[in-house]
Structure 1
């Protein structure tokens, strides 16, 4: 079957509209199609914090590999936040882990908060007065700040927005003191010296931002890159899974993809099918802890 697959175009459901995630999957689809010998057509289905598209795919598509979806940690978080009639550990075939976002805390360049330590000291001295913007209630960035506040022992006021661009605009306009965003969304303003990046949440410093420390090296046990990958319906044939895995792994390793990751300030995050499947079990529990800490755990 692996030799026969694919004999027609493949549909890749991306649960977001135009932006860094869409751009990355379009590039990967273009590169993977070269190995597969068939085009991969992107179908954007935003909604449900990135869950509606993949869940519909899992429910409606045949497990033949011709319809797959982009997967983000929202699939592992949403069931902890609201009642759903699906289980991410059972509904999907987790094909391959592809990459991750670099998340950061940023302030206006003229802010008196010159470092993460400054921010935490100020927040402790002024309980409940530090305001921070994120791209939404229950987003990875919201939960990250709550995790940091829990570890560092401060309180802050969350101000949710519809997207990363709005959070940066609000910060520049003085409506919030701090923003949490992916680095790619604030780097232009940082390079123009309108924004200062206080820290990132990766395991190591970025080579392109050598002066920006990680939260880990500052003493906080938080490493989070919000990985994304590729999923299909459950019960996909192993040979088809391997064919897709191999094509996307080859795509990941191309200079074109590496250049795009660098440009978007994202990081490669390769996980084999077996590793990705195992990771989801651990991440599912981690997301529950994050959600509970933020006070967003669904009620029984």
Structure 2
């Protein structure tokens, strides 16, 4: 199966990053700190990655990139804020992720237009997802867990970072394929679901790889992962596809600004963020978090969006999801 992030995209993007930005943007931007809205709690996987990226990008931009956490609403608060921002001057950015692309289709009135309300600056990385349980739980494997779910309809609970998030979608898709009847408990995102699991208030959590170190320390047990391939640090743990459920998700995400941003400003931001993305310090960070590189430059990122948006619309329609 072809790799989801073709090498040619990385090379083409890197080449595009060397083109000169308009002199005005290079000379005047940035002249003050840049705000980066992270729509999750501090300590979420995206928060950790974006903080590391921001620290490195600060060195290239000559101005601090300041993280602001705005968690809740299934991760759409950053997108909502930018959609209402009239000054696309480059000083306000947010993460654009699949949940933020999906949730508008779950609402009676969409809070923003995905293709008109944003400027797509750079696509960055993807997630590694999986299902974890407490180490003292009776389930050693996904198959054992699945058998328990089937034998106890409506009694097994799982937590996620919110309604409409990718981990929620995967669990709903898995339920439809395997005939599961379980209880979804949404959280705000950032590890609060894992804390509830550790406290005995949930049976399982479907989450991005913020659980990795706890799994390695024996504090949690990883039953299955959601990617095309097994997670490098956990080669003994199968994917959903290997368990007979034909689903694979890594959910690449990037950074966007408000609509109608100056192309020169976009280029300055892109170039600094791209340098930070491929910096060895950042490469080590995402390797520790099992986050695959998913880079696209600004033009390719924008060009990819119509297809990505339709994919999310179809998921919502097929599962009948509503907020």
**Displacement, 1:47?**
4.2
Structure 1 residues 164 and 293: CA distance shift in structure 2, 3 A: farther
Q: Which residue of 2 aligns with 1:37?
A: 62
Mapped pair 1:277 → 2:287: no
CA distance in 2, matches of 1:44, 1:67: 13
CA distance in 2, matches of 1:37, 1:164: 29
CA distance in 2, matches of 1:121, 1:76: 33
**Displacement, 1:118?**
2.2
**Displacement, 1:86?**
1.9
**Displacement, 1:281?**
2.2
Residues paired across the two proteins, number? 297
Q: Which residue of 2 aligns with 1:207?
A: 232
CA distance in 2, matches of 1:176, 1:31: 37
Contact 2:226 2:247 in 1 (8 A): yes
Q: Which residue of 1 aligns with 2:168?
A: 142
Q: Matches of residues 99-114 of structure 1 in structure 2 within 5 Å? A: 99-114=125-140
Contact 2:197 2:204 in 1 (8 A): yes
Mapped pair 1:155 → 2:181: yes
- Larger relative strand fraction: 1
CA distance in 1, matches of 2:195, 2:61: 42
Contact 2:232 2:290 in 1 (8 A): no
Secondary structure of the structure 1 residue equivalent to 2:67: strand
Q: After alignment, is 140-149 or 43-52 more displaced?
A: 43-52
Q: Could you tell me the TM-score, scaled by structure 1's length?
A: 0.87
Structure 1 residues 114 and 289: CA distance shift in structure 2, 3 A: farther
Contact 1:107 1:178 in 2 (8 A): yes
Structure 1 residues 166 and 31: CA distance shift in structure 2, 3 A: closer
Contact 2:41 2:190 in 1 (8 A): no
Contact 2:74 2:188 in 1 (8 A): no
Correspondent of 2:119 among 70, 93, 100 = 93
Contact 1:6 1:37 in 2 (8 A): no
- Where structure 2 has 5 or more consecutive residues not aligned to the other structure, the ranges are 1-21
- Where structure 1 has 5 or more consecutive residues not aligned to the other structure, the ranges are none
Q: After alignment, is 85-94 or 218-227 more displaced?
A: 218-227
Contact 2:80 2:111 in 1 (8 A): no
